[in-house]
Amino acid sequence: MTANSRRSFLVNSAALAATPLLADSVFAQAPGRKLGVAVCGLGSLATNQIAPALTKTRNCRLAGIVTGTPEKAEKWQKQYGIPAKSTYTYDTMHQMAKNKDIDIVYVVTPNALHLPHVQAAAAAGKHVFCEKPLEINTERAQGILDACKKAGVMLGVGYRLQFEANNQECVRLAKEKVLGDVKIIDANFGFAMGDPTQWRLKRDLAGGGALMDVGIYCLQTTRMLTGEDPMWISATEVKTDTVKFREVDETISWTMKFPSGVISNCVSTYAANGLAGFRAATTRGWFGLDPAYFYNGNRGRRSDGTEINIPVADQFATELEDFADCVLTKRQTKASGEMGLSDVKYLMAVYDSIKKGRPVTL
């Protein structure tokens, strides 16, 4: 399927999103039933991480798929026993409203398709778990929150590190001031981008480059460790390959100030491997993780010699179990839509600072 024909699917789906939903049944559950999750967009993350994770979750299971690629539909149906009645294309998603086996839609499509896919899922009365970044600008991210609010469904964002034990141990160290007050945070994430044809390099689908894709993890680190929102951002951009990165950012370095006086320095890049960690300098030492952002094996150290190396089973299973539990108990997830929206706002401020050539105050 071409990008254009996918787009026309999306236009249709967005129009259908206006359909009113029927929904006292949104939270209704048969006791003991695992919540059904439909994965929307069967790409790399869905195939290699999310579907395997859903075979391990205690309170939810893979129950449906949404795809624009018929061959993938056939493969997933066979591999995971998904019935034809729970298999959708982007333009038939609205029919999920009638499917009681599906409670949650996990949107794993390119960034700029999150809005129409969330709108379609929410309008069908399904709770939504949406990958990061929530969308490509604040207006569209707000549209996601509005769609879920209007439909009365829950919204969670795929911030797996909010549930990853090593990252959360660092949050504890910061909060409890185990090594004193956090003063300075360095956080960096990047990889050397391969395939020059992929959507991550197209502005209309990705919204931006490495900043939107991996810089968001560094932003999350600073917000998790400080428990605060940045109040001032100053950024600069470097582009060494103007052909590959014609439409999106290659490398951005940005500084943020937080109300308590913490300062953070972050780098996101599509130009180099080897950056995937953070270090927090504190009044009595330091702590950090390297790697901090991988799917497995995140670990680190503290200045007092203590290792930070907590075994983690599966980050995707953990975040999905938490969201399913939120749906079952009507609890607000800590990886909320509001957090996703504010992250997009701060990423936009990074771009704004580059464009203006000066710091921006938030």
Query: Exposure of 85 by Cβ count < 10 A (0-12 exposed, 13-18 middle, 19+ buried)?
Result: exposed
Q: Ramachandran region of residue 321, left (φ > 0), alpha (ψ -120 to 50) or beta?
A: alpha
80 has catalytic annotation? no
Q: Is the bond leading into 133 cis (omega within 30 degrees of zero)?
A: yes
Cβ at position 140, least distance to ligand NDP in Å: 13
Indicate the length of the chain as a whole number.
Answer: 362
The 3-class secondary structure across the chain, one letter per residue, is CCHHHHHHHHHHHHHHCCCCCCCHHHHCCCCCCCEEEEEECCCHHHHHHHHHHHCCCCCEEEEEEECCCHHHHHHHHHHHCCCHHHEECCCCHHHHHHCCCCCEEEECCCHHHHHHHHHHHHHCCCEEEECCCCCCCHHHHHHHHHHHHHHCCCEEECCHHHHCHHHHHHHHHHHCCECECEEEEEEEEECCCCCCCCHHHCHHHHCCCHHHHHHHHHHHHHHHHHCCCCCEEEEEEECCCCCCCCCCCCEEEEEEECCCCCEEEEEEECCCCCCEEEEEEECCEEEEECCCCCCCCCCEEECCCCEECCCCCCHHHHHHHHHHHHHHHCCCCCCEHHHHHHHHHHHHHHHHHHHHCCCEEC
Looking at the Cβ atoms of 247 and 304, the one nearer to ligand NDP is: 247
Task: Return the bridge partners of 36, or none.
Answer: 61
Q: How far is CA 235 from the centre of its chain?
A: 22
217 has catalytic annotation? yes
Please give the C-alpha separations between residue 67 and each of 39, 77, 102, in angstroms, as whole numbers: 9, 12, 15
Binding residues vs ligand NDP (CB under 6 A): 3, 6, 41-46, 67-69, 72, 108-111, 113, 131-132, 158, 160, 199, 213
Catalytic residue set: 132, 217
